[in-house]
Amino acid sequence: MKPARVPRKKDAWAEADQYRWAIYWLLIAVCIGGSVGRTFAVTGNHGRHPFLSANDRSRWATVRSLVDHNTFAIDEVIEDHYWDSIDKVYHLGPDGKYHYYSSKPPLMSVVLAGEYWVIKNTIGLKIAEHPFYVGRAIIIVTNGLLLLGLLWPTILIVERYAKSDFARVGIVATICFGTFLTTYAVTINNHLLAATSVAIALYCGLRVWCDDRSEAKYLLGAGFFAACAAVNDLPAFSFFALLGLAMLIKKPVPTLLYGIPGAAVILVASIGSNYIAHQSWRPPYAHRGDGEVLGTVESKLHGPLDQRKLPPEVRDVLAQQEVELSDEAQIITRETGNRWVLLDKGIDRRYAIQRTDSAIEVRDWDNWYDYDTSYWKPGVKKGVDEGETSRAWYAFHVILGHHGILSLTPVWFLSIVGLGMWLGEKGVFRQVAAFIVLLTLVCVLFYIFRPLKDRNYGGMTSGFRWAFWLIPMWLTAMIPVLDRWKSWWWGQRVFALLLLFSAISASYSALNPWIHPWIYNYLGYLGWLSS
């Protein structure tokens, strides 16, 4: 007799229950191992240094300068043009002279400098002499820990709130292979750090909001890591503020006792390091305009100023501020008839002269991005950095176009479906969905409604990187739809197809995330782009 036929289980994923954690560890190993392998393959600057773009070189210059020269100023470092970067500012230092500094928030560079200091003072390797060994060691340790910090809370979230193995393993596979966060693991950047911080803070926040937990570790973790996300990615301040409000509503006393002090630690460290680096409480990007008015001149001086002549009236205004100009003082025209720069190399000072409707204002210098070789001056920027003139066209490309969140990583369509499912239910997950929807809209609309100069898709980048910090929340939003599709063969195949195309986009720039997306490059090949 033939043996009786065993009926096939409806949920094929049920068989993986006892092996689920083994699958997680395999995915983690492949994800981190792949990032380490790609880091070894990196050959930036035509093989001279393992640094891939102006963005990460800006931070590396600070790391080298802090350890090798004991200063945040990067003048000596960028004399080697392979270490130079367009992401720098120029302002007075504590010695009363002008210096170049990285425009990036300094806290992350300080932490990386600590790693370099250990390498230099234990092994004896200097980053200037051995950039590959030192640079790769720091990248592998830093980003390896960040990837683990990203994957682990993601696993804890799906283990706690997903109901099927299909959803659990599918979401972990997505974070390992289908997003740009692993793409950016081969370079020092703030986006992986911000997303990791959001993932940890989100898990802690969910335990408080959904599970009514009040342990110190959850409130402390939520406060500390939400603040860490905020100081490393400006739009994540919305996450920090909204999560903090939610924690205060749910658990006011524990939040005051643990959450706020946890956040204060990272906020003080960020603000303090910025002040030490720049002698200003404001970050560099807040220094893009002229400083305070030192005095006004009623005379019409735009004629002599356009001819680069220094009127005595301007000297008199500065003399009243106890500033004695040298014979080397000269006028530089920035905008004919409207704005000029007074540069005095003799005393290493500069001032802005601005024409108004009724007078000429002499202002202190506070535009740190306005220097002779600045890439960020009008008329210097090229390509995508010039900004998208049409706001509607920009919005399209941010969402569905060549830098599109959904076109490059279509797996996020499932997040939209999942959010809709949660919003249609009653209970805490409707509130979680509203939280995610609100933060997504705030971030995307914030960048869509930026002025022309900032509508550049994040510059030379493989995806719309300013939204990467939202990825842990978008992954969480996939839970209800994947739970429902656990037994639907067509749903499983749709998910696999969406993940496939997302993984293709993420792997296109696997060796250098600081390149344009494949859709942008292909449209350029077809001649459909104007720049």
At residue 88, the pLDDT reads 96
The enclosing H or E element of 332 equals strand 329-335
pTM of the model: 0.92
Higher pLDDT residue, 40 or 69? Answer: 69
Residue by residue, what is the 3-state secondary structure of 56-109?
Answer: HHHHHHHHHHHHHHCCCCCCCHHHCHHHCCCCEEEEECCCCCEEEEECCCHHHH
Higher pLDDT residue, 81 or 105? Answer: 105
Q: Is the pLDDT confidence value at 17 over 80?
A: no
> How far is residue 408's CA from residue 402's CA, in Å, rounded to a whole number?
8
SS3 216: helix
Q: What is the pLDDT of residues 89-101, one digit of tens each?
A: 999 999 989 999 9
- From the CA atom positions of the chain, what is the Rg in Å? 26
| Maximum distance among all Cα pairs of the chain, rounded to whole angstroms | 113
SS3 397: helix
Label residue 47 by pLDDT band (50, 70, 90). Answer: low
Q: Is the pLDDT confidence value at 338 over 90?
A: no
Closest alpha carbon to 454 in 365, 513, 381, 372:
381
Mean pLDDT for the stretch of residues 378-385: 84
At residue 48, the pLDDT reads 62
Mean pLDDT for the stretch of residues 241-248: 97
Distance of CA 34 to CAs 27, 153, 186, 187, 468, Å?
10, 20, 10, 13, 20
Query: What is the average pLDDT value for the chain, to the nearest integer?
Result: 92
